[in-house]
Structure 1
Amino acid sequence: MDSAQLYRMLVFANVVEQGSLTAAADQLGISRSMVSQHLKKLELRCDAQLLKRTTRKMDLTEDGQQLYHHCAELLLLAKQAEETTRPQSKELRGRITLFTPICFGEQFITPYIGEFHQKFPKIQIGIQLDDRRINRLENSIDIAIQSEARQPTDSIFIKLGQFDEYMVASPEYVKQHGAPLHPDMLLSHQWLLHTDSYLPQSFLLKNSYGDKFTIKVPPFICCNSRHGIAQMVKQGVGIAILPSYLVAAGIAKKELTHILPDYHLNETGIYAMHPFNNVIPPRVKAFLDFIQYKMG
C-alpha cells in the first residue's frame, strides 16, 4: 500500500467524522474538490461505493461502514502519534464503544466508569447494555463482553474471570414451600427464569459424587433482566438460577437461601472480545487492563 492510499483513508475517516466534505476540507486544510477527488480514487481502489450523498445528508454504505471501522483507528493512531511529541498532550484520548450483558455491565462496568474517567479524562465511552447478540463489526464495537468462549474468526478474546450459577430463593419462600432436598423435588416449585418466553428450560445439575441430573422447568415468571429476577426472588415469588456475583452477598447476609448447595450448575467464563489483531489501540488496552484489574 502506497502513502497516497493511506492518506485517502485518512481523508475518508475525516469526512465521516466531520459529517461533510466541506467540514473535512477545513479540518485538513485542503479544498473541497480535493477531498472529493481523494474519495473517488479511494472508491475506485476499493471497487466499492463508500458514501451515499444527497443534497441533505450523507450516509455510509455497508462497505463504507466496514472500511470506516479501520480507517477511524488509523486516524486516531495518527493523532496519538503526533501528540507524543507534545509533552502537554500525552493523555490518551478517543472513543471506546462497549457492548456488555445488562447484569454484568451494571455489576462490573458502570460502577467504575467514574474511576476510569479520573484516570483517563479524555477518553469518551459509549456503553450498550443488552443481552442480545449483535454483529460487533457492523456496530463498530471496540469491546464486547460475553459469557461464552466461542471465538468468532474476526475477534480476539481475553478471559476476565469465571463465576458459578446458584439456585436461590428467599427464606420466606423456603419457609412457605419447603426446601428441596433432591433435584426431583424442584419440579413442583415456582420458577423465575431469564427468558422472553414461557417455554420450559433445561438445566444440568452435578453433585460431588459425579451424579448428574437434568431438570426441565417452565417459568412461573419470565424476565429479561437478571437484576429484576433477583429483586423478585427476594420478594418470595419463587426459585431462580442466577450468577454467583449477583447473589453471593445476599446469601452471606441471609437475604437469600442457596438451594441444593451440594449440587453444582454451570461454571461460566466471562470474556472480553475485540477485533484488533496485532496492535490494540492504547485507549482500548487501557480499558481492558482497568476492567481486568477491577475484577481481579
Structure 2
Amino acid sequence: MDASQLYRMLVFASVVEQGSLTAAAETLGISRSMVSQHLKRLENRCQLSLLHRTTRKISLTQEGQQFYHYCAELLKLAKQAEAAIIPNDEQLQGSIKIAAPVAIGELALAALLKEFHKRYPQIHVSLQLEDRKLDQLEHHIDIAIQTGQPDNEELVAIKLAQYDDYLVASPEYIANHGAPLHPDNLNHHQWIMQSANQLPRRCQFDNSDGEKFTLQLTPFINCNTSLGCLKLVKEGLGLAMLPEHIVKQPLQAEKLVRLLPDYHLGRGGIFAVHSYQDVVPARIRAMLAFMEQRLYRDTP
C-alpha cells in the first residue's frame, strides 16, 4: 500500500466525520474538488461504492460502513500522533530560559510571566536579568530581550516595540538647578549615565527644524543599570537620557519631568532574539507569540 492510498483513507474518514465534502475540505486544507477526486480514486482502488451522495447529504453504503470503521481508527491514530508533538496549551511543557535587561525584567516581564503561567501552567521559566548582553549559546539562553538594534545576523530577531530616549530630571533637581532650555545649557548640568566608567560620551540632539547639536557630556554619577540610573534621577541627583518605556510611569506620576521635548535624542527597538532557525519548539513559539501580543503592546 502506498502513501497516497493511506491519505485517501484519511480523506474518506474526514468526510464521514465532518458530514460533507465541503466541511472535510476546510478541515484538511484542500479544495472540495480535490476531496471528491480522492474519494473517487479510493473507490476505484477498492472496487466498491463507499458513499451514497446526493446534493443535500451523504451516507455510508454497507461496504462503506465496514471500511469506515478501520479508516476512522487510522484518522484517530493520526490525530494522536500530531497531538504528541503539537500539544495544546494545557499540555505544553518544558523549560524556557530568558535573558533580559534589568528594567524590562522588573517593570514588564514579571507581569507578563504571571499571565503566561496561567495560560501554560506546565512550562517552567528561568529568568536572568542582566543589562550586559550575554552569549546565548554559551549561556543556553532560549530567548534574549535586547534593546537598540540586533547585532548578530546569525540570530533571529523579532521586533516587539519601538521607543525614543527621553531627557528627564526630578522636580527637586529642577527646583535646585533649573531646567535647560537649549542643548547649549546641558554642559552645565549634573549628568547620570548608564556606564561602567566616567568617560565623556558623545550625544546628539536634533529638533524638528533639522538643527543638530553634538555634545561631549561627562557623567556626574555613572551606574551600570538603567533602573539604577532611574532611581538616581528620581532622587534628584542629576538628569539623564533614558528609554521612554522606563520613564513612562514616573512621568505620568509627575515624579519626573521631561526636558527639551522638542529635541529628538535617539530611537531604538526592543527585540526578542533566539537562535532557532528552521524549527522553533512549540513552547518557544508560545512564549514569542505571547511577547509579541502583550509586551509593550501600547507602544507604537
Structure-2-length-normalised TM-score: 0.68
What is the CA-CA distance between 1:248 and the residue it aligns to? 1.9
Distance 1:149 1:87, change over 3 A: closer
Is 1:241–2:244 an aligned residue pair?
no
CA gap 1:81/1:133 in 2 versus in 1, 3 angstroms: farther
Once the 2 structures are TM-superposed, how far is the Cα of residue 149 of structure 1 from its aligned partner?
Answer: 2.9
Match of 1:107 in 2: 107
Deviations 1:169-218 (A, max 9, x none): 11121121111111010001001111111111121110010111111111
Residue in structure 2 matched with residue 226 of structure 1 by the alignment: 226
Identity of aligned residues (%): 41
**Shift in Å at residue 271 of structure 1?**
0.9
Question: What amino acid sits opposite 2:245 in the alignment?
Answer: Y
Q: CA separation in 2, counterparts of 1:172 and 1:214?
A: 27
Measured after TM superposition, the shift of residue 87 of structure 1 is: 8.8
> Do structure 1's residue 289 and structure 2's residue 289 form an aligned pair?
yes
| Equivalent position of 1:29 in the other structure | none
- Flag the 1:86–1:231 CA change in 2: closer, same or farther, 3 A: closer
Cα distance in 2 between the residues matched to 1:162 and 1:87: 33
Q: Name the aligned partner's letter for residue 267 of structure 2.
A: E
**Contact persistence 2:201–2:218 (CA under 8 A):** yes
Q: Partner of 1:277 in structure 2?
A: 277
Task: Report the Cα distance in structure 1 between the residues aligned to 2:259 and 2:220, rounded to whole angstroms.
Answer: 17
Distance across 1 between alignment mates of 2:137 and 2:283? 18
Distance 1:87 1:196, change over 3 A: closer
Q: Structure 1 81/202 Cα, relative in aligned 2: closer, same or farther at 3 Å?
A: farther
Provide the rounded CA distance (Å) in 1 between the counterparts of 2:107 and 2:149.
Answer: 20
Aligned counterparts of 2:87 and 2:141: Cα–Cα separation in 1: 31
Q: Do 2:193 and 2:240's aligned partners in 1 also have CA atoms closer than 8 Å?
A: yes
Residue 111 and residue 85 in structure 1: after superposition, are their counterparts in 2 closer, same or farther (change >3 A)?
closer
Contact 2:202 2:216 in 1 (8 A): yes
What secondary structure is seen at the aligned counterpart in 1 of 2:91?
coil
SS at match of 1:205: strand
What does residue 63 of structure 2 align with?
A: none
1:208/1:262 contact within 8 Å kept: yes
For the residue of structure 1 that corresponds to 2:132, the secondary structure is: coil
Q: Who is 2:255 aligned against?
A: 255
Q: Which amino acid aligns with 2:92?
A: L
Partner of 2:184: 184
Separation of aligned partners in 2, 1:206 and 1:267: 12
Q: Is the 8 A contact 2:149 2:268 kept in 1?
A: no
Q: Distance in 1 between matches of 2:86 and 2:286?
A: 20
CA shift, 1:226, in A, is: 1.6
Counterpart residue identity of residue 291, structure 1: M
Structure 1 unaligned spans of 5+: 1-79
Confirm or deny: 8 A CA contact 1:84 1:90 kept in the other structure.
Answer: no
Q: Does 1:194 align with 2:199?
A: no
1: CA distance, partners of 2:161 / 2:275? 20
Task: Name the CA distance, whole Å, in 1 between partners of 2:99 and 2:241.
Answer: 23
Instruction: Classify the secondary structure of the residue corresponding to 2:199.
Output: coil
SS of structure 2 residue aligned to 1:139: coil
With over 3 angstroms needed to count, the CA separation of the structure-2 counterparts of 1:81 and 1:238, relative to structure 1, is farther
Structure 1 vs Structure 2 CA RMSD: 2.2
Which residue does 1:122 correspond to in 2? Answer: 122
Q: Secondary structure at the match of 1:84?
A: helix
- In our comparison, the structure showing a higher alpha carbon Rg is 2
Larger displacement relative to structure 2 (86-95 or 136-145): 86-95
CA distance in 1, matches of 2:289, 2:85: 25
**Cα displacement string for residues 141-172 of structure 1 (whole angstroms, at most 9, x for unaligned residues):** 11111113335243111000001110101112
Which residue identity lines up with residue 292 of structure 1 in the other structure? E
> Match of 1:108, SS?
helix
| Counterparts of 1:238 and 1:132, CA distance in 2 | 23
1:94 maps to: 94
In the alignment, the residues of structure 2 paired with residue 151 and residue 114 of structure 1 have an alpha-carbon distance, to the nearest angstrom, of 30
Letter in 2 for 1:240: A
Deviations 1:254-274 (A, max 9, x none): 211111111111111111111
Match of 1:156 in 2: 156
Q: Partners of 1:288 and 1:215 in 2: how far apart?
A: 39
TM-score under structure 1 normalisation? 0.69
- The size of the alignment, in residue pairs, is 217
Contact 2:207 2:264 in 1 (8 A): yes
Describe the shift of the 1:270–1:87 C-alpha distance in structure 2 as closer, same or farther (beyond 3 A). closer
